[in-house]
Amino acid sequence: MNSKLTRNQQKTVCSHLGTVKLKLLFKATLHGFTAAAFHQRCDSLSPTVSVGYNASGFVFGGFTKQPFSRSGQYANDEQAFLFTFRGRKLMKYPVLNYPYAVYMVANSGPYFGNALAFFNGDKPVTYSNPGGYYNFTAEEMHGNDLNLTECEVYQVEETTELERPWRTVIWGMETKKELMESIKTYKPTVRSVSQARVLMIGQVGAGKSSFFNSINSVFRGHVTSQAISGCASTSLTTQFRTYTLKAGREGKPLPIILCDTMGLEEGKGAGLDVEDVSSILKGHMPDRYQFNPAVPLNSEAQCYRKSPVLKDKIHCVAYVIDACKISIMSTKLEEKLETIRRKVNLLGIPQLVLLTKVDEACPLVKEDVTNIYKSGDIKDMMQEVSARLGVPLSCIVPVKNYSEELELDMKCDILLLSAVIQMLRFVDNFFDELSDRLSSEETKD
């Protein structure tokens, strides 16, 4: 169930309500423009934000701390207000007559006073009556366009702050320097490999390319953007790319290569093909290979690497998951990830999860990144990822990529660098397991 209210609009509404987030309960185009559907999904839940949309482009709504019901009575709420968006700005109209703030009508959608009903009866039509309950003009509120294209109701949820962090992080410049030095001086335990290869796999827009750009920025000392990244409905990455990080502008290559792929998509023949993942894992796919979602790379292709060595293969897989989309991840996408995980498991390659956009998913983290392990919401999200993808909680690392910033932030850097350290530890596990297996085979011979 996708929200029509944009993230920026949600942030604006939440800024008037405290440190909270919005959970979508009801969507009229999905559940029906009927009073019965609205009451079934929204009654007894509070506080709520109701939002209407019309063809004229108006987005308008109302907040109440009172739970909806079919009592036929008015409800007292001194905190209730109506609002409308004027560009990015929210215009707010507080309730004037508290005892009549919300009208609990059985045959209507959300109904504020006798002033505004978001749909009336079972028709997508707004009832508008500015006056003594809420002081607004019809032109300002909805442009006199009473025909709704959508109506949504969100529950307002408090963000949970834990008493103490459940993972220990020392936030400081010394920690950042130590992490950077550990990465610079890392050496794979196998002599034939000078750089660990980590494959990043994730849904479209999850932040795979942004993660590389962010790590690159930390070592460059300023925000940079080498890999193509941004917001789109289809993958912006169309080639298989192997990115070498450098310790500064003229610095030496770091001992890790981040491999970027097309984003995963639900549909068959769209996004990254599962068979292409196998070719990448085994080292058959060359850098800058142009993906064709309809036809995976095959052994007859001219560019196919027929005899890859250990340094060409993948030593760790990182699944990149958008924290804002965990709860709405489709079954098809989940099944695709499960298929990939089985292939990775068969090859004995360690796997971890990068949980991105944690600041957008939790207001507490948005306020201060150091709250990451004090956020009960982030912990819940990580536990959901653990359950849905079948990976231990210890294999999930939250990060905040650089997306709109112009300057580096030490706290974000520490999260990003910690994720790379975790990757290198998993790479060590891969090489250790490989050495043990080779030793075992030699003993048998």
User: For residues 325 and 53, what is the distance between their CA atoms, to the nearest angstrom?
Assistant: 23
Question: Are 149 and 264 found together in one domain?
Answer: no
Question: Are 243 and 311 found together in one domain?
Answer: yes
User: For residues 364 and 90, what is the distance between their CA atoms, to the nearest angstrom?
Assistant: 22
User: For residues 192 and 360, what is the distance between their CA atoms, to the nearest angstrom?
Assistant: 42
Domain contains 122: yes
**Do residues 388 and 329 lie in contact, with contact meaning Cβ atoms separated by under 8 Å?**
yes
User: For residues 258 and 420, what is the distance between their CA atoms, to the nearest angstrom?
Assistant: 10
* Last residue within a domain, chosen from 133, 158, 183: 158
User: For residues 402 and 363, what is the distance between their CA atoms, to the nearest angstrom?
Assistant: 17
Supply the pLDDT for residue 270: 64
Spell out where 106-176 has E strands. 111-112, 116-117, 127-128, 148-158
* Last residue within a domain, chosen from 124, 158, 192: 158
Question: Are 74 and 111 found together in one domain?
Answer: yes
User: For residues 310 and 357, what is the distance between their CA atoms, to the nearest angstrom?
Assistant: 33
Under DSSP, the state recorded for 322 is: E
Domain contains 165: no
Question: Are 258 and 115 found together in one domain?
Answer: no
Domain contains 381: yes
Question: Are 135 and 178 found together in one domain?
Answer: no
Domain contains 167: no
Q: Assign residue 417 the CATH number of its domain.
A: 3.40.50.300
Residue 69: name the closest of 17, 127, 111, 34 by CA: 111
**Do residues 67 and 104 lie in contact, with contact meaning Cβ atoms separated by under 8 Å?**
no
Residue 445: partners with Cβ closer than 8 Å, 6 or more residues away: none
Domain of residue 317 covers: 173-444
Domain contains 168: no
Domain contains 164: no
Question: Are 304 and 415 found together in one domain?
Answer: yes
**Do residues 256 and 243 lie in contact, with contact meaning Cβ atoms separated by under 8 Å?**
no
Supply the pLDDT for residue 233: 43
Domain contains 2: no
Which stretches of the chain drop beneath a pLDDT of 50? 229-235, 443, 445
Supply the pLDDT for residue 441: 56
Question: Are 178 and 153 found together in one domain?
Answer: no
Report the alpha-carbon angle 187-413-251, nearest 5: 50
Question: Are 46 and 185 found together in one domain?
Answer: no
Question: Are 423 and 303 found together in one domain?
Answer: yes
Domain contains 1: no
Question: Are 150 and 221 found together in one domain?
Answer: no
Structurally, the chain folds into a number of domains equal to 2
This prediction's pTM:
0.75
Q: What would the pLDDT profile of 72-130 be if each residue is shown by its tens digit? A: 999 999 999 999 999 889 999 999 999 999 999 999 999 999 999 998 888 999 999 99
Question: Are 148 and 204 found together in one domain?
Answer: no
* Last residue within a domain, chosen from 158, 183, 208: 158
Q: What would the pLDDT profile of 338-383 be if each residue is shown by its tens digit? A: 999 999 999 999 999 999 999 988 888 988 999 999 999 999 999 9
Question: Are 68 and 197 found together in one domain?
Answer: no
Supply the pLDDT for residue 250: 78
Supply the pLDDT for residue 439: 63
